[in-house]
Amino acid sequence: MKKLIIASTSTLHGGGYLEYLLPTLEAHFAGCASLIFIPYARPGGISHDDYTARAAAFFTKLNITVKGIHEFADPITALTDAEAVFTGGGNTFLLVSQLHKTGVMGALIEAIDRGVPYLGSSAGSNICGLTMQTTNDMPIVYPPSFKTLGAIPFNLNPHYLDPQPGSTHMGETRETRIKEFHQFNTQPVLGLREGSWLEVNGNTVLLKGDLQARLFRYGMEPVEVDAGSDLSGVK
């Protein structure tokens, strides 16, 4: 049975790394003594080792030891034996490129399908959708495929931002970008605001946190979805 926490962000303004999710993660990773961290997205170009150390420092609070997937000679076998997995944020193009290049994408799909607890934040959440095409990131590398984990039946736009009243910004809004996506693609897209996350248990997908999310569907006007809503049937 699939078991995922899919968070828009790792850090809320004024808070520490993953701090706002601590009670949720205590329950999510209950019984796990070790975790594999996937640092491929490398925010700001941070090294794999330094990024893994950041994750490891947080998980000491849960008495969970962390090892980066880059430290294993065979990352696919590592995922076969994993108790839990966390994919951090950063650049989604880089992350997806590395997941396909190493063969980890397929191994990660298999791990999730057999019920290994998974946490994703930002780019690590973006890959839980059907494709990565609704990321906000710059295409700094060219992945062999935009196809991702397909752990949920729609795409995500983490860090979703609403237009700010009185703003002098003249560029496209997130809503505009997603509507552009729907000129060529039909899958739904969920705009996940900061401080919100999805909790997946089996085929049930629940919106968690205090905020609404914005749901975009092909050929329809976007709608607001209340916290606590079941998004399992979105299509």
User: Cα–Cα distance between 182 and 188 in angstroms, integer?
Assistant: 9
Q: Are 123 and 140 a contacting pair, CB within 8 Å? A: no
DSSP string, 89-102: -S-HHHHHHHHHHH
Report in angstroms the alpha-carbon separations of 106 from 44, 84, 98, 111: 26, 16, 12, 9
Q: Quick one: which of 94, 88, 90 has its CA closest to 56?
A: 88
The residues annotated with a catalytic role in the active site are 122, 137, 159
Element (H, E) at 178: helix 174-181
User: Cα–Cα distance between 145 and 205 in angstroms, integer?
Assistant: 25
Give the type of residue at 161.
L
Token pair for 173: 């809004």
